[in-house]
Structure 1
Amino acid sequence: MSYRMLLVAVLGELLLPQMLCKAYVVNCGINGPQPLQHKYPQPGELIIGGITSQTFIFSFPLDFTAQPSSTVFEEFVVVTKYYQQILALVFAVKEINENPKILPNVSLGFQIYDSYFDAKKTYRATMQLISSPKGFVPNYKCDCQNNLISIIGALDSQTSLHVATLLDIYKIPQLIYGPAPVMNDKTPGLLFYQMVPNKDLQYVGLRSLLLHFRWMWIGILTMANDNGERFMQTVLPFFSQSGICFAFRERLPMLTFLTRFQDLMEELIKIYDIVMSSKANVVVVYGESYSVVILRCLPFLSEREDKTNKPKGKVWIMASHIELTSLVPQRIWTAEMFHGAIAFTVYSKDPPEFHQFVKNINPSGTTTDGFIREFWQQAFACVFSNPVVDETGGGICTGEEKLKNLPGSFFEMSMTGHSYSIYNAVHAVAHALHAMISSRLSHRAMMDRGSVKFWNQPSWQLHHFLSVSFNNSAGDKVSFDQNGELLAGFDIINWIIFSNQSFHRVKVGEVDPQVPPDLIFTINENTITWHSWFNQVQPLSLCNNYCHPGYSKKVKEGEPFCCYDCIPCPEGKISEQEDTNDCYKCPDEYYPDKNRNSCIPRDISFLSYEESLGICLACCALSFSLIRALVLRTFMKNHNTPIVKANNRNLSYTLLISLLLCFLCALLFIGRPQKLTCLLRQTAFGIIFSVAVSCVLAKTITVVLAFMATKPGSRMRKWVGKGLANVIILSCSLIQASICTVWLATSPPFPDVDIHSVAEEIIVECNEGSITMFYCVLGYMGFLASVSFMIAFLSRKLPDSFNEAKFITFSMLVCCSVWLSFVPTYLSAKGKYIAAVETFSILASSAGLLGCIFLPKCYIIVFRSELNRKEQLIRIKS
């Protein structure tokens, strides 16, 4: 077995060759599989092609921190990391050839061609695969025993597209393990079998990762090619819909056959300055497999970087086809900038015996491996002794060096995702061949004319069988969907890089399409190691700090929507989470706290018997009722005394009873409002107090009429008596009763809650129903009181035995003052204090009437009984 690459160097330019591999089915006879120890294809082989990146030819300055125009040093460099991909192909072919259950009597072989990362050379290599192995004759096959059946590759999408352009003519299957090429309107309907999961699944995983850690301000690095452009066009709107913004979007230069070193370095310096000066701590890299090789140059190229300061750390998020690789000149370079990076990788698993297979690889164990000596020299920085050429570039290679001692950026003992894809690709071709052979045998096609006829069948027939589903030796099921894409997921890997350049992968999550949609993305953030810059604290990547609860976002004009100011929530609204777009109101049963970041349950508020204010007012009402009862008892006990008889004692009793009811009406305003209490509190008090004021008005008019009746020849005598007083009381009371009846009949009061007046409380109150009727009742009482006050004031100097008119005047002055003060206080009060104000007004006005009219008389009855005699009354009159 042999795989060899041609290498070309041009001074001052960068070359990235690739290789095309083709594998064969060897010796289709009955003797069984033969060992793969041949350098070139042997007769009777079926060819499988393959593509991978393997070697750089570098012309670079001796000092990367120097100016690009410095002295250059030309060096042949192998990407040692990708040597495992060749071993994976060899191991898969060896495993199939040693397993008689897969392809009995059939062996596989392969051959490698170099594409040089150049379209012309890729086309030539592809034509060599299609032609006979011993002679390059395009479109002509003179060797019927060696047949190309498929090609595996490439890691680079552009190379895959070049290869597919020719393969499409012959309908030869191509299995690629890198990103799918970008098709355009002029591209024919090329058929690829992708050994990696659907790219859309990776986009979903990337978005889920960013949203999980709330990284809303990110940078994006892509390659300056069609794949990078497609990524930009797809991902930018996809991410933006989820609120993710982009601090920068830069394109890394492509490494081509003719890349000017000076232009490359200047472009990289510019990109490095943009990345490091950005506030975005997260950078998504969607490039080619060698992107890390370019990125590792960045810290050494910036002319502006302050060497005394530690470079700012970033969280690098790598796409699935990017590996942590190092070139030989980068051996002593630190890879610390990628410590803590998060990479999406194709799911991989070590097949049995692969580790031992790799462990046994050494230069002395094979003479047909055209790459192992160069790999060994560059991986271990040594040279093999050559008696012809004196090589002093390093230590002498013994061949006993251990691959496991190499840093992970140079070589890994465990199978990587790319190698696992190649391994599965070889097995997919083998199982497809097995299915095709079984199909032919079932029709007895091979038995008729021998095996040669079978192998001359067109290779396009393999397409029908490549949709095969099988279990590989690692125990994984391998199958394709209807689009020829592998049905698999991605592992999310955390890169751990140690100071000695050793490299360790830690699986921290996965993207699995075969689970329910809400479980596709899983991650264990506790197992992630972050870059030392972040002191093991989860990094933030925001245009500005989060808006704390109690604030909302306000987008800055002319900037991306991820850049915003934080403004406090307006009165009555809250925000409970960070970065809220808008504040919102609490439910009716809650109110905002002082920080406006949470809702607090409201208290149910009403004038209660359980609070001090309610208790105080209730005690006042009961106390006044008791005093009124004592006054009534005193009057009734002295029923026939002159002071009681004076000015109509029946009016006095009526007034005392109405005042008692007024005091008791105050209790209707205390306690939780009910339907009955709401109906009675205003109407009952309005009628009763109107009776009380009517009694006072009747007393006042009686005093005036009594004085006028004493004049000689006055006709007022006929009006003096009980009849006039009763008419006044009944007529005035009936008017108020009529108003209240209309009120109750049209829009009666009812229990209600007020959630707007006081933010912290739900006020249980009596809704007055018709506020007009309420003010009519109140206004009528005020009218009666005003009339009584004016008449009493005008008659205050009339002669009277016990100063009745003066006491009435003073009592009505108190009553009117109370109710005049009540109106503005009532209108400005809120909650339970409205009921408290009205209760106080009822008690104050009623107590004013009781005190001003009856207490002086009680004083005379109790303490100055000598004045309560008829003789004294006559003496006073005379």
Structure 2
Amino acid sequence: MNIILFLSLLLSLDYLVISSELPICEIQDKFQLNALYKKGDIVLGGLFEVHLNTLHPELTFTSKPDQLKCEGFYFSAFQWAQTMVFAIEEINRDLVLLPNITLGYRLYDNCFNVAVAYRAATALISGVGDTFTDYSCTGTPPVLGIVGDPGSTNAVAISRMLGIFHVPSVSYYATCSCLSNRRDFPSFFRTVPSDAFQVKAMIQIIKHYGWTWVGAIASDSDYGQYAIKSFIEEFNKFGCIAFSETLPSVNAKARVLQIVNTIKKSTARVIVVFLVEEQIILLIQEIRRQNIRGKQWIASESWTTVNGLLNEETYSSFGGTIGIAIRRGEIQGLKEFLLQVHPVTDANNNLVSQFWEDMFSCKFPEKMNNNSSSDPVRSRICTGSEDIKSTQTAYSDVSDLRTSYNVYKAVYALAHSLHYLMSCESGKGPFENNSCADITRVQPWQLLHYLKRVNFTTHYGDRVSFDENGDALAIYDVMNWQRADDGSVKIETIGLFDESAPAGQELTLHEDKIFWNFDSNTPPRSVCSESCLPGTRKAARKGEPLCCFDCIPCAEGEISNHTGSIDCVKCPSDFWSNPRRDQCVLKDIEFLSFEEPLGISLTTISLFGSCISTTVLAVFIYYRNTPVVKANNSELSFLLLLSLILCFLCSLLFIGQPLHLTCMLRHVMFGISFVLCISCILVKTIVVIMAFKATLPDNNVMKWFGAAQQRGTVFVFTVIQAVICIIWLSTASPVPFKNTEYQNSKIIFECNVGSITGFSCLLGYIGLLASVCFLLAFLARHLPDNFNEAKFITFSMLIFCAVWIAFIPAYASSPGKYSDAVEIFAILASSFGLLIAIFAPKCYIILLHPEKNTKKSLMGRTAQK
């Protein structure tokens, strides 16, 4: 690569011939370059885009092509060049910075063209003499350092060549981040921040206002392409690019129409533009012609502060534009210096005369020709005595020095490098054998060493230094296009971006100073899809950027509690999502409560049943000596009524919040009380059958089944159930259980039976006794009337078995608390069935027909049979 660049240098010099056989080397041809120069002990070079257009000659290949011609004088750039002259003159007057050294300058116009800029750079480092005789290369080179080039594309091309010869260049306007590559551009420095920092400033502004849907437009130059690439990489970390367009340098007008059409169709309301002044003018004109409004423009530093762009016509579309601008500075005495310029007749120092001609629309006599008459304005002769102080142009406007201030700092950076070099103490130098550089023979590579270490403060308090990539401190002004109090259009400073500030504090905006070109005068919203509210999540749209999405409500049991959630979070097991799906709340705990209507009803019935049973027990105790009570085995009747009271009361254990104690007691009480009840009925049935058999001659069966045996039988049957309960409780007892499977939004508080086998044995044993009792009672139903209790027992057992058979499917299909209600209903129904079927007829006789409660009456019925 270095060989190619070196060959290009030789070719660009139109073949510089050096022959050892000749006493001198003669230049075969010279470039025609617009220049400003002044001699000095040490000369600094400069490159400025004083003309904006280049006229290319026709290539007929029949004769030598003409030189490139420049047109379109750029007053602002000439101010930049004059600022360099001013800085050098100021340094020459400084008795401390470079004592006994006079700086000279040679400034060239690059005509906004890479080829011209390259030729100018080679002319600077090779010299401009017609002959070359100093083969020993003593003394200083033609220029020791270069201020420029301002264009990123130009700077890339020139810096590759300058890097070969270690000639330092300090650009004041080339911002391409590619130039921070120290391997490719080892001698490049700049006083303007890199686009990498400009992009950071833009990203900070965009983040500040929450814009996630943005369009981007860039030039096809190195400046535009590197800037937009960096911008897209940073922006894609939190947003999406709605469109990205490139505006070429050729056929730009046709491309502008396509870009404007894209802008019109896009829903993005914020557009970032990396264009140079010449290109943005075309875009602004077309936007204004089509009257496109409602867009928030973010301007790069290349066009933010160009006053010529902003007028009444463009304000309707571009008012409120926010841009990044190079840090503004002040240079005292510059305006007076600018107004002292005066044309000279030196053809090699012709930029001032060209400036004069464009400023006053005239021609100097030596430039007059026969074609001048066709231009009546330029046919006027320049006298050189025109009053420049009466003009108002960008050249003399020093109210907003930005680029000029960077030129000023670049010159001083080179001067301070020379100062460090001159201050070197013998024997303590940085070069070979600790030597110092000789100021009379200093070489660019020696100056480059000191330029890397420059660190000084200007007269106006701004620090100048370079990082390891040759980049300056990144400080930007944030600008806003708005109206002044008098109705005119102005560019107002509304904030600051300082890369060296603490993290999170780099951007400072004065919100009260910002003008927004929208009806509400508030920042616009620029998103492809509005952020999903809490309770919803993002669902990407197929084939569209990630910023374009739909908001899907979270599923039941899931929430999103902040805006823009990507996923919904599942609630913990004891929690459930609220109706808005933005908060997890404790699940409703469901159990059969004493406070709810169903619980109150069942409690009332249970207590009513136990009261009835107690009343019947009281009646039987009171009438215990009457024939009806005696005939029906009063002791077993008392025990049966007591067990029925327990059956009614045990149902209360199924109501209320399940506890470990109640879960164990409810089934134990239920099992033992019902076994006690059925045991009493079974023994009564057996007694009835044996009593009938005892009436037969020679039958003494009753002496084997007396009162003691009856009590023992009931006790044994009940103990068996108690043993079953003890084994069940000791192995896997019932425990409170939070059931979330049946209904996710609720916690059903119930008792887990623990061992299914134990619970089945408990119910199976009750069922076995009930079945045996029913069978015996059914077989004894035709006994004589005085033993007709068997009929009532048969009926009661029929009710009991029917209830519990129906209970099984009803219990299995009942959800939550209703399963407890079904079990309570079965307990109450079967208890009432037993109570009514067995004791209602007896109470009827005892209380309503006491005349039938006699032994004669009971025996009489038998006799009638």
1:218 pairs with one of 202, 214, 221: 214
2:193–2:475 Cα contact (<8 Å) kept: yes
| Structure 1, unpaired ranges of 5+ | 1-38, 60-73, 446-450
What do residues 703-743 of structure 1 show as CA deviations (whole Å, max 9, x unaligned)?
44444555667786566544664465345434433433332
2:297 pairs with one of 316, 325, 328: 316
Aligned partner of 1:344 in structure 2 is: 324
1:496 aligns with 2:482: yes
The Cα of 1:528 is off from its aligned counterpart by 4.5
After superposition, the Cα gap between the structure-2 partners of 1:568 and 1:614, relative to the gap in structure 1 and judged at 3 Å, is same
| Structure 2, unpaired ranges of 5+ | 1-34, 56-68, 369-374, 431-435
Q: d(CA) in 2 for partners of 1:857 and 1:375?
A: 135
Q: d(CA) in 1 for partners of 2:837 and 2:357?
A: 120
2:516 pairs with one of 530, 542, 565: 530
Aligned partner of 1:286 in structure 2 is: 274
2:473–2:499 Cα contact (<8 Å) kept: no
After superposition, the Cα gap between the structure-2 partners of 1:471 and 1:188, relative to the gap in structure 1 and judged at 3 Å, is closer
2:672–2:718 Cα contact (<8 Å) kept: yes
Q: d(CA) in 2 for partners of 1:558 and 1:438?
A: 65
Aligned partner of 1:673 in structure 2 is: 658
The Cα of 1:105 is off from its aligned counterpart by 4.5
After superposition, the Cα gap between the structure-2 partners of 1:58 and 1:46, relative to the gap in structure 1 and judged at 3 Å, is closer
1:471 aligns with 2:457: yes
Q: d(CA) in 2 for partners of 1:170 and 1:508?
A: 41
SS of alignment partner, residue 454 of structure 1? coil
1:691 pairs with one of 668, 673, 676: 676
SS of alignment partner, residue 738 of structure 2? strand
After superposition, the Cα gap between the structure-2 partners of 1:738 and 1:546, relative to the gap in structure 1 and judged at 3 Å, is same
Q: d(CA) in 2 for partners of 1:728 and 1:844?
A: 26
After superposition, the Cα gap between the structure-2 partners of 1:272 and 1:843, relative to the gap in structure 1 and judged at 3 Å, is same
The Cα of 1:110 is off from its aligned counterpart by 3.7
After superposition, the Cα gap between the structure-2 partners of 1:661 and 1:124, relative to the gap in structure 1 and judged at 3 Å, is same
After superposition, the Cα gap between the structure-2 partners of 1:140 and 1:598, relative to the gap in structure 1 and judged at 3 Å, is farther
Q: d(CA) in 2 for partners of 1:377 and 1:788?
A: 132
1:46 aligns with 2:42: yes
Aligned partner of 1:244 in structure 2 is: 239
The Cα of 1:126 is off from its aligned counterpart by 1.1
What do residues 339-358 of structure 1 show as CA deviations (whole Å, max 9, x unaligned)?
33333344x2434xx3x646
Q: d(CA) in 2 for partners of 1:186 and 1:423?
A: 24
Q: d(CA) in 2 for partners of 1:631 and 1:115?
A: 123
The Cα of 1:573 is off from its aligned counterpart by 2.3
1:180–1:194 Cα contact (<8 Å) kept: no
Q: Which has the larger radius of gyration?
A: 2
Residues 713-722 or 773-782, more deviating: 713-722
Q: d(CA) in 2 for partners of 1:575 and 1:444?
A: 66
Q: Which amino acid aligns with 1:274?
A: T
1:496–1:504 Cα contact (<8 Å) kept: yes
Aligned partner of 1:433 in structure 2 is: 418
Percent identity over the alignment is 36
1:576 aligns with 2:561: yes
What do residues 812-833 of structure 1 show as CA deviations (whole Å, max 9, x unaligned)?
4444454445444444444444
After superposition, the Cα gap between the structure-2 partners of 1:502 and 1:525, relative to the gap in structure 1 and judged at 3 Å, is closer
1:363–1:373 Cα contact (<8 Å) kept: no
After superposition, the Cα gap between the structure-2 partners of 1:630 and 1:373, relative to the gap in structure 1 and judged at 3 Å, is farther
SS of alignment partner, residue 297 of structure 1? helix
CA RMSD, Structure 1 to Structure 2 (Å): 4.5
1:268 aligns with 2:256: yes
Aligned partner of 1:484 in structure 2 is: 470
SS of alignment partner, residue 267 of structure 2? coil
After superposition, the Cα gap between the structure-2 partners of 1:386 and 1:174, relative to the gap in structure 1 and judged at 3 Å, is closer
The Cα of 1:150 is off from its aligned counterpart by 1.9
Aligned partner of 1:297 in structure 2 is: 285
1:340–1:531 Cα contact (<8 Å) kept: yes
After superposition, the Cα gap between the structure-2 partners of 1:685 and 1:495, relative to the gap in structure 1 and judged at 3 Å, is farther
1:505 pairs with one of 489, 492, 498: 492
1:155–1:289 Cα contact (<8 Å) kept: no
Aligned partner of 1:4 in structure 2 is: none
Aligned partner of 1:628 in structure 2 is: 613
Aligned partner of 2:721 in structure 1 is: 736
The Cα of 1:633 is off from its aligned counterpart by 2.3
After superposition, the Cα gap between the structure-2 partners of 1:508 and 1:521, relative to the gap in structure 1 and judged at 3 Å, is closer
- Pairs within 5 Å for 1:633-712: 633-707=618-692, 710=695
Q: d(CA) in 1 for partners of 2:411 and 2:185?
A: 24
The Cα of 1:269 is off from its aligned counterpart by 0.7
SS of alignment partner, residue 538 of structure 2? strand
The Cα of 1:692 is off from its aligned counterpart by 2.0
After superposition, the Cα gap between the structure-2 partners of 1:742 and 1:53, relative to the gap in structure 1 and judged at 3 Å, is farther
What do residues 725-773 of structure 1 show as CA deviations (whole Å, max 9, x unaligned)?
4465345434433433332222222234334444444444433333453
- Pairs within 5 Å for 1:9-158: 41-57=37-53, 77-79=72-74, 85-86=80-81, 89=84, 92-93=87-88, 96-97=91-92, 99-106=94-101, 108-132=103-127, 148-158=143-153
Q: d(CA) in 2 for partners of 1:867 and 1:411?
A: 134
The Cα of 1:159 is off from its aligned counterpart by 0.7
1:163 pairs with one of 158, 163, 169: 158
- Select the structure with the greater relative contact order (CA < 8 A; seq sep ≥ 6): 1
Residues 687-696 or 822-831, more deviating: 822-831
Q: Which amino acid aligns with 1:271?
A: I
The Cα of 1:808 is off from its aligned counterpart by 3.3
What do residues 269-295 of structure 1 show as CA deviations (whole Å, max 9, x unaligned)?
111111221122222323446543343
Q: d(CA) in 2 for partners of 1:204 and 1:601?
A: 46
Residues 477-486 or 829-838, more deviating: 829-838
How many residues are treated as equivalent by the alignment? 792
The Cα of 1:539 is off from its aligned counterpart by 2.7
The Cα of 1:113 is off from its aligned counterpart by 0.8
Q: d(CA) in 2 for partners of 1:773 and 1:688?
A: 17
Q: Which amino acid aligns with 1:285?
A: V
1:551 aligns with 2:536: yes
1:84–1:412 Cα contact (<8 Å) kept: no
The Cα of 1:122 is off from its aligned counterpart by 1.5
After superposition, the Cα gap between the structure-2 partners of 1:435 and 1:410, relative to the gap in structure 1 and judged at 3 Å, is closer
1:515 aligns with 2:502: yes
After superposition, the Cα gap between the structure-2 partners of 1:475 and 1:75, relative to the gap in structure 1 and judged at 3 Å, is closer
Aligned partner of 1:179 in structure 2 is: 175
1:706–1:720 Cα contact (<8 Å) kept: no
What do residues 563-584 of structure 1 show as CA deviations (whole Å, max 9, x unaligned)?
3344333333233344433323
Residues 489-498 or 313-322, more deviating: 489-498
After superposition, the Cα gap between the structure-2 partners of 1:673 and 1:268, relative to the gap in structure 1 and judged at 3 Å, is same
Q: Which amino acid aligns with 1:267?
A: R
After superposition, the Cα gap between the structure-2 partners of 1:429 and 1:669, relative to the gap in structure 1 and judged at 3 Å, is farther
Residues 218-227 or 136-145, more deviating: 136-145
Residues 457-466 or 108-117, more deviating: 108-117
After superposition, the Cα gap between the structure-2 partners of 1:165 and 1:645, relative to the gap in structure 1 and judged at 3 Å, is same
1:413 pairs with one of 383, 399, 408: 399
Q: Which amino acid aligns with 1:503?
A: K
SS of alignment partner, residue 693 of structure 1? helix
Q: d(CA) in 2 for partners of 1:844 and 1:174?
A: 105
Q: d(CA) in 2 for partners of 1:709 and 1:291?
A: 127
Aligned partner of 1:192 in structure 2 is: 188
What do residues 136-156 of structure 1 show as CA deviations (whole Å, max 9, x unaligned)?
869989995785232222332
Taking structure 1 as the reference length, the TM-score comes to: 0.77
